[in-house]
Amino acid sequence: MNARRLKQLTPYLLLLPSIIFLFIFFAFPMVNAFTLAFQSDAGEWTLEHFSTMVNDVAFAQAFRTTLLLLVIIIPVQFALALIMALLIQSKLKFSGLFLYIYSIPLGISELAAGIVWFAIFTERGYLNTVLTGLGILEKPFIFLSYQNTGWLLFAVVVAEVWRATSIVMVILVAGLQSIPSEFLEAADVFGATLWQKVWQVILPMLKPSLQVALILRTILAFQVFAVAMAVAGRGVTLLAAEAYRWYGTYRNPHVAAAYAVLILTLSIVSTALYVWGLRTPEEQTL
Amino acid sequence: MNKLLVKVLVLMVSISLFAAACQPQVTQPPKEVQVIVTQIVEVAPPVVDYGDIVWLSTQLRPVQEAEKVRGVILDKFPGNVEFIPEDEGPFHDRITAEVQANQGTVDVLGALHGNFSTMGPKDQLQDLTALRSSLADRGIPDAFWDVAQLNTDKTYYVPWMQATYILAINKKALEYLPAGADVNALTYDDLMAWAKNIKDTTGDAKFGFPAGESGLLHRFFQGFLVPSFSGGVVTTFASDDAAQGWQWLKDFWPYVNPQSTTYNFMQEQLLNEEVWIAWDHTARLKDAFEALPDDFLAVPVPAGPKGRAFMPVIAGLAIPVTSTNQAGAEALIAYLTEPQIQVTTLREVGFFPIVAVDYPGYVSPGIKLEGEAVTLQAGAPDALPALLPQGLADKGGDFNKVFRDTFTSIVLNGEDINTVLDEQKVILQSIMDATGAPCWSPDPDSVGKACQVK
């Protein structure tokens, strides 16, 4: 009896450590953040912090810029990551080496990557030095000007794409490797072109990996922060950067928590959309 | 194998013997030494060790400065001090947590007056009145001690070092200085004409403001621009005079390097010549003066219609109520306010002494440049000291935000000045009402009542 009972309980016992971990490090702080966001200092329930957040000078710009970055960065990253993953899988000479080269940015912290790209784009930075040295520019061009939001965003996009494309690539490489070679051989037998193979075989089979990568990237994109801060300073502002400022600079944890709740809500909604929009019918799963 | 090893060893030993044998033999001529022994005293200095002391500080955070603290400034202190530089947010969180848990790890706090003014009323700081009287011989000005009482009859921190903000000027800019302007007594109009002249002639905007993430631009509004034009900070926030100040900045902004929103420490942009003229904190200009003292000038900030407003910055040392090494903490504070350590602090990190010291001749030329500008600025006939905000408790950040937002709306987004000032005035007043903070200099005394925006 006891042995049987223990056997029944085993899966739950095995799950227990991760549940405790999730509770302490995710659920508990999350509940705390919610209470901070919805309670006043006196402990009354209020929406005051959300109205402070929405009516703040920086809110509209932060919201717009965060979405804009998301819309620009994610398609670029996925196109690049797919090309990189296909190149690695192409079995060309040395193609395995690319995996390691492409993964280098994964090992670099967000802030360090931001500082590197700041050093490239700033007035006396590497890019301007090269361009003036080659005679293409007469004098340094100011990329990182607050008057020049286009270039400012461009610099942030380049830095962020450089930094975070490889994580998408790693997921896609794993997905590609799980596609049985018979499928591609069958496509070859029917005389499919490379384009047809990518479009009709590889992409549909990659859907689960794409879903994972999309969810991951979108959630991370809502949290983009250090790169933008290092490259653009106060020139652009983002939701996560505002949350940081309200907490660290303005010392108001309530409004910071309101931002956190907003970011969490956006993340959950977009995740739900991906799960629903990219669901794979039962008969298509491997 | 072993034989080989033995051979090598034997070879090495013989080489070293040979080398020793080759040393020139020096025969010392016999010296006549006269020694008069009158008394034999056994000197055994008392061995004092204050043990482990943890010092948490919002000041001297940059890596090089922190290394100077650990390696040079604390070098002679008899005890093992762990210096932990920390951002303001985590600094307050840590002390709040330790006080709430009634279990301390931190013994000494180093921070700005503004940090302490949020902590004293929360019973996080010890009353240091006794320590104050034991430090009476230091010559710390009474004005600083008064501020350290945080509007009570207790003393909550010991003044530690001071700084302010000045203008740093690359000498290349001097040829564009408008005729008749005195570089050591500039006005806001002079500065406008100067920066415009540079832009018109060279095509570049060569003035720089630290308007980046950790830049201190809000202090320019609170301690320089608004008081210089309006004679106050809070009371005159939305006045026509203050509006003129913001109009000045709006007109001036085309001559400011547009990358300013990424600038945090102006010494970097001065050294790489992205800018020629910059306003910043003395500690954030220091590297430029140190690296190229012959290329730069340090001058007082400009004067407006109401005077040459400037903000003196006072950092202090305090002991949290949860300190576990009381004797060590007090000894460390006494040590850091010793005149020679104050001079070392000035030399190493560019913060100026708070105690009476003779201006040391052996500080570097760069520091000397800054020191002279600081003295000139404080002693200017039209000097108008505008203190750091006081009594705002944990609303100091919101107060800064009012000025930052006013700047963003008026200057960066080009909105109407009076509309913005009227909007922000409401927020400013709500901060003053929530904290009940009385007016501080240069606003007129509000006799204990919350400061009112007119």
> pLDDT tens for residues A154-173?
999 999 999 889 889 999 99
Q: Which of A59-68, A217-226, B394-403 has the highest mean pLDDT?
A: A59-68
Chain B hits for A252, Cβ within 8 Å: 397-398
pLDDT over 90 percentage in chain A: 40
Interface test with B, best of A137, A234, A246 (most B CBs within 10 A): A234
pLDDT at B426: 94
Q: From CA B19, how far away is CA B12, in angstroms rounded?
A: 11
What domains, with CATH codes, occur in chain A?
Answer: 57-284 (1.10.3720.10)
Specify the pLDDT at position B4.
56
Give the pLDDT score at B144.
78
- Residue B162: strand pairing partners: B314, B352
Does the beta carbon of B265 lie under 8 angstroms from any beta carbon of chain A?
no
**What is chain A's mean pLDDT, rounded?**
88
Residues 108-147 of A with CB under 8 A from B: 118, 122-124, 139, 142, 144-147
Q: Which residues of A touch B261 (CB under 8 A)?
A: 145-146, 232-235
ipTM above 0.90, yes or no: no
Distance of CA B35 to the CA centre of its chain: 53
Alpha helices in B103-236 (DSSP H): 113-117, 129-134, 142-147, 188-202, 217-220, 226-230
pLDDT the model gives residue B125 = 94
Q: Which CATH superfamily is domain B165-311+385-435 in?
A: Periplasmic binding protein-like II (3.40.190.10)
Residues of B in contact with A65 (CB under 8 A): none
**pLDDT range class, residue B124, cuts 50, 70, 90:** very high
Tell me the residues of chain A between 156 and 195 that have a Cβ less than 8 Å away from chain B.
Answer: none
- Which candidate, B124, B101, B129, B130, places its Cα nearest to that of B111? B124
pLDDT higher than 70, residue A141: yes
Task: Report the mean per-residue pLDDT for chain B.
Answer: 87
Mean pLDDT of A35-45: 88
CB proximity A233 to B under 8 Å: yes
Does B262 lie at the interface with A, CB-CB under 8 angstroms? Answer: yes
Interface check for A251 against chain B (CB to CB < 8 A): the answer is: yes
CB B399 within 8 A of CB B392: yes
CATH class of the domain at B52-163+313-378:
alpha beta
Alpha carbon distance B282, B349 (integer Å):
10
Task: State if pTM tops 0.90.
Answer: no
DSSP string across B260-298: GGG-S-HHHHHHTTS-SEEEEEGGGTHHHHHH-TTTEEE
The sign of the dihedral angle between the CA atoms of A225, A230, A231, A235 is: positive
Domain residue extents for chain B:
52-163+313-378, 165-311+385-435
pLDDT single digits (tens) B65-78: 999 999 999 999 99
Residue in A closest to B268 by C-alpha: A124
Cα three-residue angle A77-A219-A21, rounded to 5 degrees:
130
Contact A232 B92 (CB under 8 A): no
Least-confidence region, from A56-70, A147-161, B195-209, B349-363: B349-363
**Per-residue pLDDT, B20:** 47
- Residue in B closest to A59 by C-alpha: B405
